[in-house]
Chain A
Amino acid sequence: MRLRTRLAVEATAAVNQLSRHIGTGSGTVAGGRVGLAIAPGALADLGRGRTVAVVSGTNGKTTTTRLLAAALETSGASVVTNATGSNMPAGHFSALASGPREAPAVLETDEGYLPATLRELSPRLALLLNLSRDQLDRSNEVRMVAKRWRDALAGSTCTVVANADDPLVVFGARSAPSVLWVAAGVHWRADAGGCPACGGRIRFAQGTWSCSCGFARPVPDVALEERGEETTAMFADGRRFTIHLAIPGGFNRRNAVMAAAAAEVLGVPADRALEAMGKVEGVAGRFSVHSVRGVPTRLLLAKNPAGWDELLELVAGDTGPIVIAINARVADGRDPSWLWDVPFERLGSRPIVASGERSADLSVRLHYAGLEHRRVKDPLEAVLAASRSAQPGVSVEFIGNYTAFHDLLAKSPLA
């Protein structure tokens, strides 16, 4: 390691420790920024000589990163990862600087930063989950993200594990020299109607999709079978695994299958990988029950229509109170128009509290969904208000978008 890089690593550790100590952050971004300022080439330097896997896509990155890291840990090596979702260069630097020099790294990567990350870190593997509309005030078009993936992967040497059911992911991934296709499903198709290859119209039918220009779903190497709550992964060589996870939701089981396929590429057999993933509980505060001013509250994060689509599937049928908190800061995207793409109608009849800095937007949306609700702008107060309509022993469900979730999480210890 170059002297400058070593200096940068030490400075990163010191700043991150300070940041955690004074409580200004989760202690990953500030230090990484300092490190990169001291040694701009250090990211590539830290990536050399170890296995690096990157995980990218619009939704499920943080959880899938955690699942893949858990799988790789079964090899006995300590794995470095950006577990709190700091998924840009500073977060990558902090993660790589945080453990032994040779430790394998699993890095959640912002979809916009994937091309730069491929260039700098030359990862061994890229796990590509899904692409859909998110923060359009920043990225403008999801198709442009797919095109940048395609261009970056065409020149890379990494093995790609990609979702064969998402046309935008396939368009971005198929230029890579080696791709393992997983039929991981996609519920949200509203962004894939126009063919990314020719501009024509993609037709979805009987579990597959194609365009008249010849762009079509690749033959999957790993297929999925879903029956109610049971998800089974079927590998091309005939092996079948039923997925059992501690974290809830069909979307997490589908992500686990992708992570298992990725783990095999990195030398961990799928059965061992899935067993380790089954033990993962909360992921960066998500899915677990926290105490919000004494009220047991299950915290969930959804920040765009596709993510909401999946969470609504998860909470459908619950009848306890639910708080929905929406902000529109830069990290959330400043345009909450996407609330009108979310089928809130599926929440059905249950006590609902609209909250967050953009609760007025949410309240109008819920009103047109025909849902009775209250509006309490402050999320803490909203949880307290919701708890008053909870039956004894029933926890409150809280779904926030990015900053609304993180603000509440920071104030709420595990219950």
Chain B
Amino acid sequence: MTVLRIAVVYPDLLGTYGDGGNGLVLFRRAERRGIAVELIQATSDAALPAVDLYTLGGGEDGPQVLATERLGEAGTLAEAVANGAVVLAVCAGYQIVGARFPAADGAPVDGLGLLDAITEKSQGRRPVGEIVVESELEGVGMLTGFENHGGLTTLGPSASPLGRVCIGIGNGDGTDGACSGRVVGTYLHGPVLARNPALADLLLSWATGRALAPLDDHRELDLHRERLEASLGRRGRRRG
């Protein structure tokens, strides 16, 4: 690849919780390493471009269904994934790339089927708060984030969870998120990559196909440590 291309998918519909930050974090981390990189804000009024790395954010119920319809019709995202593109989908975006999720009235909506994951309305209280996940992805370790979603997700056999929930709700069964190939979904919404630079670099290494030089991450790691400690107490320091 000559230029690494990153697209924030439909920021006009999916971007409720500062989710656009994930695209910015990926872009800057590539740029700081001297990788030629382009960041595209792919709004829903134009055709989705074919790129190397996509991020999808959270959205309210109506815009979530609208975004799913547009992405399904165009087929670009599924095609790109079949060709090896990397996807990070958070919150409503995670539900969209799954097989099915509920609309505002509870009616099931077909997702894009990039992850073998079915979301249903949570019967209990809406999961809102800090979430800590011990990731099963290589080199990623503890993930810290904030969750706020009305659905719970069950994985099918062809997806594996992103990790085990230490604090919070996530998928609702003690796990959070889903991974399948180079598609990663999670309920850690908003700028999850800002708090977890190791996950950002894993996605970048998939998209570029090369090992990445370390960066001065003292700010990011201070934040990572602070959030883990706030959720887990001092033991977060040891495990983070």
Q: Which residues of A contact B (CB under 8 A)?
A: 133, 136-137, 140-143, 190-191, 193-196, 199-201, 203, 334-335, 337-341, 360-361, 363-365, 367-368, 370, 375
The docked-state distance in angstroms from the alpha carbon of A285 to that of B49 is 48
Q: How large is the interface on B (under 10, 10 to 19, 20 to 34, 35 or more residues)?
A: 35 or more
Instruction: Give, as a whole number of angstroms, the nearest-CB distance from B191 to chain A.
Output: 5
Closest to A197 in B: B62
Q: How far, in angstroms, from A137 to B149 measured CA to CA in the complex?
A: 10
Cβ-defined contact, A337 with B191, below 8 A: yes
**Quick one: closest B residue to A142, CB to CB?**
B60
How far is B13's CA from A193's CA once the two chains are assembled, in angstroms? 6
> When the two chains form their complex, are residues A340 and B65 in contact, meaning their CB atoms are under 8 A apart?
no
How far is it, in angstroms, between the C-alpha of A363 and the C-alpha of B218 when the chains are bound? 11
Q: How far is the CB of A320 from chain B (nearest CB, A)?
A: 24
| Residue from A190, A367, A370, A375 with most neighbouring chain B CB atoms (10 Å) | A367
Looking at chain B's contact residues, the main secondary structure is mixed
Tell me, in angstroms, the Cα distance from A284 to B199 when the chains sit together: 44
Q: Report Cα–Cα, A272/B163, bound state, in Å.
A: 64
Contact of B66 among A199, A334, A337 (CB under 8 A): A199
Are A360 and B219 closer than 8 Å at their CB atoms?
yes
Contact between B194 and A340 (Cβ–Cβ < 8 Å)? yes
CB<8 Å pairs between A and B, sample of 17: A136-B17, A141-B60, A142-B60, A190-B15, A193-B44, A194-B63, A194-B66, A199-B62, A201-B66, A337-B18, A338-B18, A340-B19, A341-B15, A360-B222, A361-B194, A361-B223, A368-B21
Chain B residues with CB under 8 A of A142: 60
Contact B219 A341, beta carbon cutoff 8 Å = no
Residues of B within 8 A of A137 (CB): 128-129, 146, 148
CB distance from B229 to the nearest CB of A (A): 11
Other than the given A140-B128, A191-B16, A365-B191, 18 more pairs (CB < 8 A) read: A140-B126, A140-B148, A142-B60, A194-B13, A195-B62, A199-B66, A337-B189, A338-B190, A340-B19, A340-B21, A340-B191, A360-B226, A361-B223, A364-B223, A368-B24, A368-B194, A370-B28, A375-B219
Query: Is B12 among interface residues, defined by CB-CB distance under 8 A?
Result: yes
- Chain B positions within 8 Å of A, measured between CB atoms, are 11-13, 15-21, 24-25, 28, 44-45, 59-63, 65-66, 126, 128-130, 146, 148, 150, 189-191, 194-195, 219-220, 222-223, 226
User: A338 touching B60 by the CB < 8 A rule?
Assistant: no
Chain B residue, CB-CB nearest to A367:
B219
Q: Please state if A337 and B17 are interface contacts (CB–CB under 8 Å).
A: yes
Q: A360-B226, A368-B194 are known contacts. Are A141 and B219 too (CB-CB below 8 A)?
A: no
Could you tell me the distance in whole angstroms from the C-beta of B204 to the nearest C-beta in chain A?
14
The chain A residue sitting closest to B128, CB to CB, is A137
Nearest-neighbour CB distance to chain B for A243, whole angstroms, equals 31
A361 and B28 alpha carbons, distance in the complex (Å): 17
Q: Which residue of B lies closest to A195 (CB)?
A: B62
CA distance A136 to B17 in the complex (A): 8
Residues of B with C-beta under 8 A to A191: 16
Bound Cα distance A363, B190 (Å): 16
Smallest CB–CB gap between A151 and chain B, Å? 15
Please, which residue of chain A has its CB at the minimum distance from the CB of B60? A141
Expressed in whole angstroms, the Cα–Cα distance for A363 and B216 within the complex equals 14
* Interface pair A339/B18, CB less than 8 Å apart: yes
Q: A363-B219, A368-B25 are in contact. Are A335 and B65 (CB under 8 A)?
A: no
Residues of B within 8 A of A143 (CB): 60-62
Contacts of B21 in A (CB 8 A): 337, 340, 365, 368
CB neighbours (8 Å) of B190 from chain A are: 335, 337-338, 340
A201 to B17, CA, bound (A): 19
B226 → chain A closest CB, angstroms: 5
Instruction: Say whether B148 contacts A136, CB under 8 Å.
Output: yes
Q: Which residues of B contact A338 (CB under 8 A)?
A: 17-18, 190
Q: Is the CB of A190 within 8 A of B12?
A: yes
Q: Which of A136, A199, A337, A370 contacts B65 (CB 8 A)?
A: A199
Give the complex CA separation of A120 and B63 in angstroms: 34
Q: Is the CB of A141 within 8 A of B24?
A: no
Query: Could you tell me the distance in whole angstroms from the C-beta of B130 to the nearest C-beta in chain A?
Result: 8
Whether the pair B18, A364 counts as a contact (CB closer than 8 A) is: no
Contact A335 B12 (CB under 8 A): no
Nearest opposing residue in chain B for A375, CB measure: B219
CA distance A137 to B146 in the complex (A): 10
Q: How long is the Cα–Cα vector from A335 to B223 in the complex, in angstroms?
A: 14
**7 pairs of A and B residues whose beta carbons are closest in the complex:** A337-B190, A340-B21, A340-B18, A194-B63, A193-B12, A199-B62, A337-B18
